[in-house]
Chains A and B, each alone.
Chain A
């Protein structure tokens, strides 16, 4: 059968005009080259990619000096080590310079991800903790406003990173569950105005006495993300224990907890984003006896941000937003009294212009008003450009 077919094809070729055959042959060779090029591209070996993001701000508060700030420059390095292991690193330089305690150079993440199967991944290393929306995804072209919301500073101490390990599991098409054991916080840094923020160990020789747990349950569908996160542990580090015994204060533990709920919904040109966070610090009275920082027993904050994209041209877009924030780092006190100056609202409106989806040029203005007696609203205006690459 095969032989018949071959001789039939051969005779067919002989009948075909020579010119046409040459033409077909040429086309075939061209095609072959194209196939080779393409297969090389598709089968390129484990690769390294470099990316990152940067943001330049021009901050003009009403009462304070106006300034430029090259707020963040971040390099992201990804390496596919083999078919199931990859390395992710994020190195950040804040304020363009590190000098005399100003500016920061820090690892934002440096970890390995092991893809166990389509559903399950394991991670280990210095991890970006999955607490809220912005802690994980903070490229400047992805959010409105020159600066990140204040909730992501005073309530969710963004960027929250720690050494640790854990698992990420996809459930069905839209659900994801993550859980990690990580280095905890150092209660020596807790304060009335900043709650947990200065207690972050930033993966700098972290005290391993205080292991924390963190996790997130997320629903993620096109145009709709809902998430719940927690972060809790004991912040009684060796340093805190020593300070307690020196001060003659009995302190068993400094349990802390941070619980957040967030949503990001897009419907047509309208987007609604919100993060709500609530935290607790146990034995704050004893802690305040040692450090005198007037730490609150609980703290909270939220923002609600409706936005609307009203102009498009090709890849370009312009959108406008309003953001209403409330930050309260001393929601309740176990000892001492709260300072109204730490409790504030920050209401803001602004515009983002995306000349390309990876670049945002931003303007916003707003006013912060504390709950202190006779406090006046502090107005400010900000310009910024942020991009990721």
Chain B
């Protein structure tokens, strides 16, 4: 399934990291990655996520993987797609378990014609250490890049969504058994 995200051959698409490359950053050698069954989210959990982001949660555009080392959960990597102004921005966010803190965000594919400045490492570093207690909102705890407001906001909203996905759902999952392709 994952390979889908690097097909991006449409207008302006810039692929910074393929799905495989991004997942390798999240799960180093010796760690197993398991596919998280996001379709199991209950209506109440979906409603909780919608409240945090203002948009319906869709497991069609979000995919999460659990990292296991010797049967212990190390963290969760989610590959998500958020619309900037009119195109999807594909990125990976890694949350450490059980701390529930963002360890890093990596931009994977950028398709908008303007706003690519969010690739700036200083922008992406701002998500480090964020958890569900933080607002994770643009111009509050996430500073925008001038000229890339829509893309900056898309990533802030996406990160907030995934952080709360962790709080509402991922945090309580047992070690999973279905290995990711």
Q: Chain A: residues with CB nearer than 8 A to chain B?
A: 31, 34-35, 37-39, 41-47, 49, 51, 78, 80, 82-84, 86, 113, 115, 118, 137, 142, 173-174, 220-225, 264, 266, 269, 309, 312, 314-315, 317, 357
B145/A221 in contact, CB under 8 A: yes
**With A137-B147, A220-B145, A223-B144 in contact, is A83–B11 under 8 Å at CB?**
yes
**With A115-B12, A221-B122, A222-B123 in contact, is A42–B85 under 8 Å at CB?**
no
Contact of B4 among A38, A86, A115 (CB under 8 A): A38
Q: Which of B90-137 contact A (CB under 8 A)?
A: 113, 116-117, 119-123, 126, 135, 137
Least Cβ distance of A13 to chain B in Å? Answer: 17
Question: Cβ of B30 < 8 Å from any Cβ of A?
Answer: no
Q: Which of B128-173 contact A (CB under 8 A)?
A: 135, 137-140, 142-147, 149, 152-153
B137/A222 in contact, CB under 8 A: no
B11/A38 in contact, CB under 8 A: no
5 A-B pairs closest in CB distance: A223-B143, A80-B11, A222-B143, A225-B146, A222-B123
Within the assembled complex, what's the spacing in Å between the Cα atoms of A269 and B143? 10
Q: Is the interface of A mostly helix, strand, loop or mixed?
A: mixed
**With A174-B120, A266-B139 in contact, is A42–B88 under 8 Å at CB?**
yes
**With A221-B120, A264-B146 in contact, is A42–B7 under 8 Å at CB?**
yes
Q: Which of B1-52 contact A (CB under 8 A)?
A: 1, 4-5, 7-14
Q: Which residues of A contact B13 (CB under 8 A)?
A: 83
Q: Which residues of B contact A35 (CB under 8 A)?
A: 1, 4
Question: Cβ of B179 < 8 Å from any Cβ of A?
Answer: no
A357/B138 in contact, CB under 8 A: yes
Q: Which residues of B contact A224 (CB under 8 A)?
A: 143
Q: Which residues of B contact A43 (CB under 8 A)?
A: 7-10
A222/B147 in contact, CB under 8 A: no
B121/A37 in contact, CB under 8 A: no
Q: How many A-B residue pairs have CB under 8 A?
A: 98
A222/B12 in contact, CB under 8 A: no
**With A31-B1, A47-B86, A220-B146 in contact, is A37–B60 under 8 Å at CB?**
yes
Q: Which residues of B contact A34 (CB under 8 A)?
A: 60
A-B contact pairs, 27 of them (CB 8 A): A37-B60, A38-B4, A38-B61, A39-B7, A42-B4, A42-B7, A42-B8, A42-B81, A43-B8, A43-B9, A46-B10, A47-B86, A49-B86, A51-B85, A80-B11, A80-B113, A82-B11, A83-B11, A86-B12, A137-B147, A221-B145, A222-B123, A269-B140, A309-B139, A312-B135, A315-B54, A357-B153
B88/A41 in contact, CB under 8 A: yes
Chain B residue nearest in CB terms to A41: B88
A222/B122 in contact, CB under 8 A: yes
**With A39-B4, A49-B86 in contact, is A222–B144 under 8 Å at CB?**
yes
Chain A residue nearest in CB terms to B52: A314
Least Cβ distance of B32 to chain A in Å? Answer: 21
Least Cβ distance of B133 to chain A in Å? Answer: 15
Within the assembled complex, what's the spacing in Å between the Cα atoms of A45 and B7? 13
Q: Which residues of B contact A357 (CB under 8 A)?
A: 138, 149, 153
**With A309-B139, A357-B138 in contact, is A314–B54 under 8 Å at CB?**
yes
Least Cβ distance of A297 to chain B in Å? Answer: 34
Contact of B10 among A44, A220, A312, A317 (CB under 8 A): A44
Chain A residue nearest in CB terms to B120: A173
B146/A47 in contact, CB under 8 A: no
B9/A142 in contact, CB under 8 A: no
Q: Which residues of A contact B122 (CB under 8 A)?
A: 173-174, 221-222
A222/B10 in contact, CB under 8 A: no
Contact of A80 among B7, B12, B61, B119 (CB under 8 A): B12
Q: Which residues of A contact B61 (CB under 8 A)?
A: 38
Least Cβ distance of A226 to chain B in Å? Answer: 10
Q: Which residues of B contact A49 (CB under 8 A)?
A: 85-86
Q: Which residues of B contact A86 (CB under 8 A)?
A: 11-12, 113
Q: Which residues of B contact A137 (CB under 8 A)?
A: 146-147
Q: Which residues of B contact A269 (CB under 8 A)?
A: 140
Q: Which residues of A contact B9 (CB under 8 A)?
A: 43
Within the assembled complex, what's the spacing in Å between the Cα atoms of A28 and B126? 38
Max chain B C-beta neighbours (<10 A), residue from A84, A137, A314: A314
Within the assembled complex, what's the spacing in Å between the Cα atoms of A266 and B137? 14
